[in-house]
Amino acid sequence: MIEFESDQVVHEVLASLPFTFGFEPRESVVVTALELGARHVTIGPSARVDLVDLERPFAGLHVDHVCTALARTRADAAVVTIHTDRDVDLWVRDLVDLVTPRWPFAEHGGYYVLAHGTIHGFAPDGAPRGRHDALELLTTRVAMAEPARAFAEGPSGFRFARSPVGTTATAIAGALDRFGAAHELPAAHWARITGAWYDAVDTGGPRGMRTRARVLHALEHLPFRDGALAWVLDGGVRRMEDLTVMCTEDAFATPRRPDRSLFERVDSVLRSVARHAPPGGARAPIAMAAYLAWWAGDGARARILSEQALEEDPTYSLARLVDDALARACPPPWYLHADPVRLEPRPSSRRGW
């Protein structure tokens, strides 16, 4: 294993993490993969694990999972950052002892603890490298307006595929014109659409062009879009007859951790609905997918999708909401309401990792 040291790279990594995850990591250990070029460094994907989990039995399994996932990338190096409110002590050496035998990369950038406004640096063997003020992060130049980092899945894979012209697109545009104004449709219509929504989520996508058009039309109706969004955030537990009358406040009053399986199925539905929408007509499904990505903590996907939704309609409020949340590194509500990690003072020993 080759050691390398670069404060500038570490500052870039630390500054980018709130945008990568969509929130500021707390009481976390983050491993960020790097590709080292002759004259540049590309910041790759990052993986996070709760710091407290590395003080419990089978902590090595967490490290193995993180290292195995990142080793699938083209990275030849990585750096470890620790985000905590605890005092820097001998536990850093314990972390080094846990990670070193599992390190899958040819090069190691060291360990950096961001605590109490100070960045504490340590070499791969745990030797101190010195300290920096966290205010130096403000001077880093990370171009967050564009995909400035490399990902295990390229940024182009995050965008929704669009085919707004052609036979299918023309048929969907015609169907949208025939549906008429959403506020004039009877309650029975919204009950049918709600059933179609549930069926699409269950089966991985709406069946038939007309159903895709109906769902697309429904998502332009704010009560239905917000009801469907709240239903997903609530875990898809309550299947109401009509999503337009769902109490959206409930989903935010007691926010849940994201159901990854449900989110993936809904993302598949939204991609299918948006594919052949007319120009500007895919703003609702793409913005909804961006919001769900932000809620799931996938900041990179949320940023790219919110930008795509704003390409469809620069004034669309849901897309602008996601964009503003990412610009301010606001975490999703469930993360703010999560039980705080209780950290007990550790004895000055090198056991327990």
Distance CA 310, CA 320 (A): 7
Q: Report the C-alpha gap between 96 and 119 in whole angstroms.
A: 17
Per-residue pLDDT reduced to its tens digit, 309-320: 999 999 999 999
Strand pairing class (107-115; 2-3) = parallel
pLDDT for the residue numbered 153: 41
Neighbours of 119 (CB within 10 A): 22
> 276 pLDDT band (50/70/90 cuts)?
very high
How large a percentage of the chain has pLDDT more than 70?
Answer: 88
Distance CA 130, CA 152 (A): 32
pLDDT score of 182:
64
Overall size of the chain counted in residues = 353
Q: Which residues contact 261 (CB under 8 A, 6 or more apart)?
A: none
Between helix 260-275 and helix 187-203 the angle, nearest 10°, is 110
Tell me what pLDDT residue 82 has.
94
Is the pLDDT at 289 greater than 90, yes or no?
yes
218-227 in b/e burial notation, b at 16+ Cβ within 10 A?
Answer: bbbbebbbbb
In angstroms, the CA 230 to CA 225 distance is 9
d(CA 52, CA 76): 28
| pLDDT for 151 beyond 80 | no
Q: How far apart are CA 296 and CA 22, in angstroms?
A: 8
Question: pLDDT tens across 250-275, in order?
Answer: 777 777 888 888 999 999 999 999 99
pLDDT value at residue 142: 38
In tens, the pLDDT along 210-237 reads 899 999 999 999 999 999 999 999 998 8
**H or E stretch including 80?**
strand 77-83
Pairwise CA distance, residues 54 & 98, whole Å: 9
3-state secondary structure of 294: helix
Confidence (pLDDT) at 205: 81
Domain positions in the chain: 2-151, 156-336
Q: In the numeric block, which tokens belong to residue 270?
A: 């939204």
| Lowest-pLDDT range of 142-156, 163-177, 200-214 | 142-156
* C-beta of residue 251 within 8 angstroms of C-beta of residue 233: yes
